[in-house]
Homo-oligomer: A and B are copies of this chain.
Amino acid sequence: MTPRLYISAALKAGAAAPLSQAQAHYLKNVLRRSEGDALLLFNGRDGEFACDIVELKKKAGLVAVKVQTRKHETGPDLTLCFAPVKRGPLEMIIQKAAEIGVTKFLPVITERTTAPKINCERLEAIAIEATEQCGRLDVPTVAAPVKIARMLDDWPTERRLAFCDEAGDDEGAEWGGREGRAAPALETLKTADSKADKWAVLTGPEGGFSPSERKCIRAKAFVTPITLGPRILRADTAAIAALVLWQAALGDWRRS
């Protein structure tokens, strides 16, 4: 299989393009490639190109860009707002969400967020690796963490927010709010505002959202509360499940 790598530099047929030290090392010592071998490169804006390896040195590499193999394209506009969790599940969320097609990651600090400081560079690297592997042309971005109250205040109201309300519905009625009960994700998304073409999914930490956070979130007109079945899902499972259902109901997993 032809290796497929992301670079940040411009790509143009007939030109040369640089490889980083890590990429040169990976191609040479892990994949055992050498000069003259084929490679696919993409940069998140110019599409994908067939290339030949020209040079693999210790500190860098060089390729000859031949022809464009795919034009640039982006998937549906889908942000994942997630409370950071422990390293293993966190990295799982990033990898799987990038494969499923998230375009932006927004770490959200909630009352019960107990995870240590997150390393955005590390998360970006995981997102890029998943992008390379799954054949995407656009690379999801990782935003700086933001507190939940700030996120809700600054929310662009044309973007809908599917809120994974795992604690369910028992307390809902008291609020006398917009909806007494959160409803199953698929049916809710299927009947959601189909004019909205920008969406986000919000998932909580292992301990869930606090009652006051749930109240604040559900009071917003841009929020669609959803549930994910009768069992209690881990934070990473919930994030993956909600994104899959969104893609199948409203995104590019539908019949085109």
Complex Cα–Cα for A26 and B185 (A): 35
Among B95, B184, B253, the residue within 8 A (CB) of A186 is: B253
Bound CA span A241–B246, Å: 11
Q: B187, B234, B244, B254: which contacts A244 (Cβ < 8 A)?
A: B244
Question: Is B231's CB under 8 angstroms from A186's CB?
Answer: no
Q: Residues of B contacting A228 with CB < 8 Å?
A: 253
Q: Is A136 an interface residue, CB under 8 A from the partner?
A: yes
Quick one: copies of this chain in the complex?
2
A249 within 8 A of B: yes
* Residue contact A248 to B247, C-beta cutoff 8 Å: no
Chain B CB within 8 A of A101 CB: yes
Task: Give me the interface of A with B, judged by CB distance under 8 Å.
Answer: 75, 92, 95-96, 99-101, 133-136, 183-187, 228-234, 237, 240-241, 244-245, 247-249, 251-255
Beyond A75-B230, A237-B240, 13 additional contacts (C-beta under 8 Å) are A96-B237, A100-B231, A101-B231, A135-B230, A184-B255, A186-B186, A186-B248, A186-B249, A186-B254, A187-B255, A229-B247, A240-B241, A240-B244
